[in-house]
Structure 1
């Protein structure tokens, strides 16, 4: 069998392994599961054939780059050593996937229990998962206690952001073609944004700032440029996805990164510029109300003001930038939304001081 055929077959398993972590498995039947484990068995045979041989290094290099081609984009990584544990890795991902039908889960366990070795390994696996479940529950309780404590309002960078950032750094060494790597990173970001992962994406900028302070590198700079260019495109095409992130996350990242602060403020400015005064009803104490004239119909003046208020309350540095920017926007214009925003912020400031 040719080397290219082996790679093609292993790629098939990589796709199956990637799917085993997703909702796709809810459509799997026993035929699908058996087929997946057959491919895993094939990979284990490949491992037995190539280990400790010159061919191993070439396979390792191709395997790692190959995973960047998986569609849809995935953070899955494969190396030669993992091929030797293909069945175990697949099994673990399926056991942890809550989308797998209970019926399929039970049948899979029954099949494994026919072999004493497999049965022993599965018992250890379930013991480990049981301990993991208890740990998650304890951590969840701790998190709820911490969230209930208002003494510390600092938003910490989620661990997922560190993991994803390090994954991007790892892939930069693996994927040889720049264009392929860039497309891979953007595909991951797009996919993550579609499953409510915008907070994780934004915090990648905070991770970059940490890396830049500790040990700046061209590699980190390239990753940052990819992430930020993706965010710029998003802010133009779908700014609501950006503005819908928790304000404490937005402000924390904005404090540490001028580029993101300017991007955030520009989104708010674009939002305000889309509003027009509505005189159709009497609005006390004003004779008008600022309303949207675009598809952002769910975003009103109150929500816009909340963003500016949060920025001003978050840190004096941000407050000074906001007030300076608003003064420039107002200019010599006697009637503008920014004049009302400024007045409301000043009123809020005096109320807070009082």
Structure 2
């Protein structure tokens, strides 16, 4: 089997894994579950064929870029090593998805309990879910921006979420050469984050992530991602400065981001000036002045 066909097949599993964390699982039937598990088993077989081979690094490079092509937008991370636990990844994604129907959960558990390996996977996933561990979120982006459906994330600070998210973004984009593809993916991720107040909290926290210790290549990608996001934030704030989610971001987060990132500080300062310009003095019958 050629390398292109193998990568194409792995991408099919990536699409399944991506859909497993979204609402589309409500339409999965028994056959869909079996097919998904078969794809996971296929990827685990590939792991044994690829691991340790001289072309493993090249395969890793290709896998890291797959998230860029997924729809809905995703920060899914794939590597040769993750192929080795593909079934576990799939099961934990399904079990942590609140949209996964209870009847389908029972069917999945029934399938897994038919083999010792399935029982092992089930026990491992159930432990992670019971520990409310962030690792149960295979589709990190979807989980971070949908906290009302991810109760195990509600006590995790936005700065930590931003750190994990940015790490995944850099991993997905560091091997992307085409500028248009890079910008399109950044746009899709930004739009997903910008939908909610929680997403804006995370967006601002991205500018507090330390680049110290990062390899030069990763630091450059991180800088490009933040520059792209900041440009989009600036445009959105200008469209309606008064209604911007920016003003609901905790002030300590805004101060920290401003103290670390000069570019964010300038954007924040411009937003404050624009907000001030939008107010006008109102004098009541007693001569008191208020600003609205």
Q: Decide whether aligned partners of structure 1 residues 102 and 289 sit closer, same or farther in structure 2, where only a CA change above 3 A counts.
A: same
Structure 1 residue 191 displacement after superposition: 1.2
Q: Please name the residue that 2:143 is paired with.
A: none
Q: How does 1:14-163 map to 2 (within 5 A)?
A: 14-132=14-132, 158-163=159-164
- Alignment partner of 1:247 is 2:251: yes
Partner of 2:202: 200
In 2, Cα distance between the equivalents of 1:212 and 1:59? 28
Q: How many residue pairs were aligned? A: 267
Verify the 8 A CA contact 1:47 1:83 in the aligned structure 2. Answer: yes
- CA distance in structure 2 between the partners assigned to 1:157 and 1:131 by the alignment: 19
Work out whether residues 88 and 121 of structure 2, in 8 Å CA contact, stay in contact via their aligned partners in 1. Answer: no
Q: CA deviation at 1:80?
A: 1.8
User: Deviation per CA, 1:221-268, whole angstroms, max 9, x where unpaired?
Assistant: 434322322222222235412223233322332344343233223223
Q: Which has the higher contact order (CA 8 A, sep 6+)?
A: 2
TM-superposed CA distance for 1:48, in Å, is: 3.8
Output the CA distance in 2 between the equivalents of 1:183 and 1:236: 21
255, 264, 267: which one aligns with 2:268:
264
Instruction: Give CA-to-partner distance per residue, 1:278-304, whole Å, 9 cap, x none.
Output: 67xx45443x765xxxxxxxxxx3xxx
Structure 2 residue runs without a partner (length 5+):
134-151
1:316-353: CA deviation from partner (whole Å, max 9, x where unpaired): xxxxxxxxxxxxxxxxxxxxxxxxxxxxxxxxxxxxxx
Deviation at 1:17, TM superposition (A): 0.7
The answer to whether the 8 Å contact 1:283/1:289 transfers is no
Root mean square deviation of aligned Cα? 3.2
Name the CA distance, whole Å, in 2 between partners of 1:256 and 1:60: 33
Paired residues of 2:16 and 2:36 also in contact (CA < 8 A): yes
For the residue of structure 1 that corresponds to 2:100, the secondary structure is: coil
Identify if the C-alpha distance between structure 1 residues 157 and 83 changes in structure 2 by more than 3 Å, giving closer, same or farther: closer
Structure 1: 5+ residue runs without aligned partners? Answer: 134-139, 145-155, 291-300, 302-354
Change (3 A) 1:211 1:79: closer
Task: Indicate yes or no: 2:10 matched with 1:10.
Answer: yes
TM-score of the superposed pair, with normalisation by structure 2: 0.76
How far apart in 2 are the matches of 1:120 and 1:220? 38
Preserved contact between residue 43 and residue 86 of structure 1 (Cα < 8 Å): yes
Which of the pair has more CA radius of gyration?
1
Aligned to 2:145: none
Query: 1:218 deviation in Å?
Result: 4.2
Give the TM-score normalised by the residue count of structure 1.
0.64
CA distance 1:264–1:58, shift in 2 (3 Å): closer
Offset from partner CA, 1:102-139 (integer Å, 9 cap, x none) = 11111110111122332244234424433447xxxxxx
Using the TM superposition, give the Cα deviation of residue 29 of structure 1 relative to its aligned residue in structure 2, in angstroms. 2.9
Q: What does the per-residue CA deviation read over 1:185-227, in whole Å, with 9 as the maximum and x for residues that have no partner? A: 33222212224311111011121xx336999854454343223
Deviation, structure 1 residue 176: 3.0
